[in-house]
Amino acid sequence: MSNVTIGDASLEDLDALHAIEVRSFAHPWSRRMLAKEFEHPWSRQRAARDEAGVILGYLICWLVADECNVLDVAVDPDARRKGVGRALLEDCAEIARAAGSETITLEVRRSNEGARSLYRDLGFRMVGERPRYYDSDHEDAVLLEWQL
């Protein structure tokens, strides 16, 4: 999607971020959980916006030591399959490299084939599993790593 810009999200964006979170996940983060991320100095919150400034998706990651861990990435269902998720992850990689990170890690539901396909295309590889990782339904998570 060529008309997408990625930049820092702010607390003023919280309602839009939470709306996307709720539309994206069966068991979404609470508004309070999202807001808490703005308090951590190691947390980065990035938003993808269209030309009108409407938030289409966001990514939250932690930069700790030489690693970047993606905690949450969501794209509004109406904006999916248009490169927004890819743009957010590529932006994350740039931020991680600039911070001295050597890897990006994340967990993804085993059943989320769409996301797993995107991650594979970007260069993530499976490095482990987390059995019964998700509290809501006890689905396994697949642990992925991208060497930068």
DSSP string covering 106-131: EEEETT-HHHHHHHHHHT-EEEEEET
pLDDT > 90: percent of the chain: 89
pLDDT mean over 29-54? 97
Of residues 67, 66, 65, 85, the one with CA closest to residue 75: 85
pLDDT at 82 > cutoff 60: yes
Among 58, 119, 133, 134, the active-site one is 119
Please state which of the ranges 32-36, 112-116, 135-139 shows the lowest mean pLDDT.
Answer: 135-139
Yes or no: say if 17 and 9 are a contact pair by the CB < 8 Å rule. yes
CA–CA separation, 127 vs 59, rounded Å?
Answer: 21
Task: Decide: helix, strand or coil at residue 7.
Answer: strand
- Please say if 107 is a catalytic residue: yes
Among 94, 107, 113, 133, the active-site one is 107
Please state, as a whole number, how many other Cβ atoms lie within 10 Å of the Cβ of residue 142.
21
Supply the pLDDT for residue 1.
Answer: 55
| pLDDT-based confidence at residue 5 (cuts at 50, 70, 90) | very high
Supply the pLDDT for residue 2.
Answer: 63
Please state which of the ranges 23-27, 103-107, 122-126 shows the lowest mean pLDDT.
Answer: 23-27
pLDDT at 81 > cutoff 60: yes
| pLDDT-based confidence at residue 138 (cuts at 50, 70, 90) | confident
